[in-house]
Amino acid sequence: VFLAEDVVVIGDVEIGRDASVWYRCVLRGDVGPIRIGTATNIQEGTILHCAPGMEPTVLDSQVTVGHGAVLHGCHIGGRSLVGMSATVLDGAVIGEECIIGANALVPPGMIIPPRTIFVGSPARFLRRVSDEDVVWILGHARHYVDIKEKYLKEGAGQMVPDEAMWDDA
């Protein structure tokens, strides 16, 4: 796991192996749990939080979250990509192998079916995800696994205590 030096982690947060959380991210598990899956990457300036008594924030394996996104009490299915500055709100569920476009707003409770692309504010269906799109999503996940290894070898990042590790396998 790679956590950049300035990442803020508060409360009930667990992170899967090979995950990376980049600079200026905030993971606030103070009022509800946050779970980050294996090989998931959360890019600079992203905020994860939830509302008291509502759904946890869960990101399954191999999810890419673009710079400046806000994920609040939602579930992001495996092998999905959430674009830069997108917002996904309480109770929303993003299916597996989805793409949420940059600056999209996924409103509370919205269910995004697997292998679909949603864009805009509020988010609306654009098209189905192709096999080529899935390869592209997985390429992002692989890139961040590789680059986090480089950063760790150079001594960058924070230590992650064993109790903060999430075995989502």
CATH number of residue 138's parent domain: 2.160.10.10
Decide if 66 contacts 82 (C-beta within 8 A).
yes
In a domain, 21, yes or no: yes
The verdict on residue 84 lying in a domain is yes
Q: Is residue 166, in this structure, part of any structural domain at all?
A: no
In a domain, 80, yes or no: yes
Tell me which long-range contacts 162-168 makes (C-beta under 8 A, separation of at least 24). 164/9, 164/13, 164/14, 164/15, 165/1, 165/14, 165/15, 165/16, 165/17, 166/14, 166/15, 166/16, 166/35, 166/36, 166/37, 167/16, 168/16, 168/35, 168/37, 168/38, 168/60, 168/61
Q: Is residue 53 in a domain?
A: yes
Provide the domain limits for residue 65.
2-155
Confidence of residue 168 (pLDDT cuts 50, 70, 90): confident
Q: Is residue 161 part of a domain?
A: no
What average pLDDT does the chain have?
96
Residue 163 forms part of a structural domain: no
Does 132 score more than 60 pLDDT?
yes
Q: Residue 160 domain-assigned? A: no
pLDDT band at 158 (very low <50, low <70, confident <90, very high): confident
- What tokens does 89 get? 């709100």
How many structural domains are present in the chain?
Answer: 1
pTM above threshold 0.75: yes
pLDDT for the residue 169 = 56
